[in-house]
Every structure is written in structure tokens, then in C-alpha cells.
Amino acid sequence: MPATKTKKFTPEIDAKLYDEFVAVAEQNGQTKRHVLEQALEFYLRNVVPSQHLVRPEVMNAFERSVARNRDLLERLAK
């Protein structure tokens, strides 16, 4: 099987988000690369297409609601 082509990039991201990302990879015995690739794939296959199905003002209101209620949503998820 031929090797997968790769691209190297070095984004700067929020420190807390990075720490959570690293912790998830470690907890699951996965590499950071694997977790990042899975997250990007999920975003590109699921989130991006859905953004075109909802009017932008509805999506903006939803995102504001999620941000405002993040603590509650995280507690409910547990």
C-alpha cells in the first residue's frame, strides 16, 4: 500500500483547547496526529455541509446559545 501523502503545518490554537486535545489523545492511546486528523475529517464531512443547510442568522444564534450555556451543556453531557 502506498504511503499517505502528508503536509506539515503549525497552527496556533487556544492553550486550554490544546491541553484538552493532548489529554484526549493520551487517554485513548492515540497520537495527536490521529486525533487531529479525525477531528478535521469530522468537521469537513459533517459540520461544513450542515452550515449550508441553515440560514446564517440561525447558525449564529445557535452558536451564541452554545457559548452562553457551555458549562450547563458540559455538565449535562457527563
Q: Where are the domains of the chain?
A: 15-77
The three cell numbers locating residue 33: 496526529
Pick from 47, 69, 70: nearest CA to 59: 47
pLDDT of residue 16: 95
For 50, the grid coordinates are 450542515
Q: Per-residue pLDDT tens for 3-62?
A: 789 988 888 999 999 999 999 999 999 999 999 999 999 999 988 887 777 778 888 999
Q: Average pLDDT, stretch 68-77?
A: 89
Q: Which cell numbers in the block locate residue 7?
A: 503536509
Angle of helix 56-68 relative to helix 70-77, nearest 10 degrees?
70
Angle at which helix 32-42 crosses helix 15-27, to 10 degrees, equals 110
Would the pTM of this model clear 0.85, i.e. be above it? no
